[in-house]
Homo-oligomer: A and B are copies of this chain.
């Protein structure tokens, strides 16, 4: 499994790697949100996506176009947005990772609300190895 979900290959140094993770982050957020909206409302509409992401509707449309290009979502003009199988799998992994990071931070003594805020940025940079370490801590196999 790759370190970040959308990575293809491993970049040269830590800065290049962080840049790649960042590029994937936005797509990950959109995919997760579209998954959430679909589960809640049966479909993900552009207006709802834009509202939850706190961006304007044209910005959401543009990002959705990118999701489609990347094979993560589909949509027809003036219709809702849906995840492809690949998009849905990605959404599941992103959601699980998010939950793990939040739970871990809370376990470390971070207040729920702040954990939620910080996790939003942190989660996209947590490698599989680190995620497993977090899970181990949560399971009580405390390494400290």
The reply on A41 being an interface residue by CB < 8 A is no
List, in ascending order, chain B residues with CB within 8 A of A54's CB. Answer: 11-13, 15-16
The reply on A133 being an interface residue by CB < 8 A is yes
List A88-110 residues whose CB lies under 8 Å from chain B: 105, 107-110
Report whether over half of chain A's contact residues are helix, strand or loop; otherwise say mixed. Answer: helix
Interface readout for A9-31 with B: 1 if CB under 8 Å, 0 if not?
A: 00111111110011001000100
**A-B contacts, 17 listed (Cβ < 8 Å):** A12-B54, A13-B54, A14-B116, A14-B120, A15-B52, A16-B54, A18-B121, A21-B121, A107-B144, A109-B133, A114-B127, A114-B129, A115-B130, A118-B127, A118-B130, A120-B125, A122-B125
The reply on A6 being an interface residue by CB < 8 A is no
* Residues of A in contact with B, size category: 35 or more
Tell whether, in the assembled complex, residue A133 and residue B108 are in contact, meaning their CB atoms are under 8 Å apart: yes
Name the residue of chain B whose CB is nearest to the CB of A13: B54
Q: Within the assembled complex, what's the spacing in Å between the Cα atoms of A73 and B53?
A: 33
Which of A17, A133, A137 has most chain B Cβ within 10 Å? A133
The reply on A142 being an interface residue by CB < 8 A is yes
Q: Within the assembled complex, what's the spacing in Å between the Cα atoms of A127 and B115?
A: 9
Q: Within the assembled complex, what's the spacing in Å between the Cα atoms of A126 and B126?
A: 13
Tell whether, in the assembled complex, residue A117 and residue B14 are in contact, meaning their CB atoms are under 8 Å apart: yes
